Chains A and B, each alone.
Chain A
Amino acid sequence: DAKTTQPPSMDCAEGRAANLPCNHSTISGNEYVYWYRQIHSQGPQYIIHGLKNNETNEMASLIITEDRKSSTLILPHATLRDTAVYYCIVRVARGARQLTFGSGTQLTVLP
């Protein structure tokens, strides 16, 4: 899996967009960008993933730069329940086995 770099912590006001960056300058052509999050006292939860096009689902949007060396996870209207640690993981879609977690970004949504 390619190495990723995330800020250790970020704050966001409730109702505003939360933009979480991730750098992955050594990403390979067949590697995807995955985002998981871990709410306190719970197991990690899948959010979204993408290869090179921007992606959107009911939880979030994922913006990947054209050179694929960085990406941003966007929570469009953050709520208090979005307070969690967000993990950016770069890996192949299939064939790999275990999921390896870095330190992630602690997002705190403030009232």
Chain B
Amino acid sequence: DAGVIQSPRHEVTEMGQEVTLRCKPISGHDYLFWYRQTMMRGLELLIYFNNNVPIDDSGMPEDRFSAKMPNASFSTLKIQPSEPRDSAVYFCASRDTGQGSSGYTFGSGTRLTVV
């Protein structure tokens, strides 16, 4: 199992540009989570999906952020337009319902820098 796969690993973009982060969850996992990590705020949940349906997006900072999960094997997090304060490491995680709270598997993250 290749684990949760995120791309790209690093992204540098200019303020105002659109950024798309990608995630491939572990096959068979029915939950997918997007987290953001900064020094100031730590790890914070942005949104999560269950069976491809967004369940809770209350952590999405503002309308510039959007996330989709068109199928069970792919999700995107889009920022448009990007701002310097969006610079952070973005993690995707997936989980199988049957595994409970020990079953979260995280990807290696995407380090986003907005200049």
Contact = CB atoms under 8 A, between A and B. Distances in A.
Interface stretch (A14-22, A63-71, A72-80, A99-107): A99-107
Interface of B: 4, 31, 33, 42-43, 45, 48, 50, 55-56, 91, 93, 97, 100-109
B30 to A, nearest CB: 11
B70 to A, nearest CB: 21
A92 B42 contact: no
A38 B62 CA distance: 27
Contacts of A36: 104
Contact of B106 (A32, A34, A43): A43
Q: For A34, A38, A44, A103, which residue has the most chain B Cβ atoms within 10 angstroms?
A: A44
A44 B106 contact: yes
B76 to A, nearest CB: 18
Nearest to B43: A101
A93 interface: yes
Given A46-B105, A99-B93, 15 more contacts: A38-B43, A41-B109, A42-B106, A42-B109, A43-B91, A43-B108, A44-B93, A49-B101, A91-B101, A94-B97, A97-B31, A97-B50, A98-B33, A98-B45, A98-B48
B4 to A, nearest CB: 8
Given A41-B109, A43-B108, A102 B31 contact: no
17 contacts: A32-B101, A34-B102, A41-B108, A43-B91, A43-B107, A43-B108, A45-B106, A46-B102, A49-B102, A89-B101, A91-B101, A96-B101, A97-B31, A97-B48, A97-B55, A101-B43, A103-B42
B56 A99 contact: no
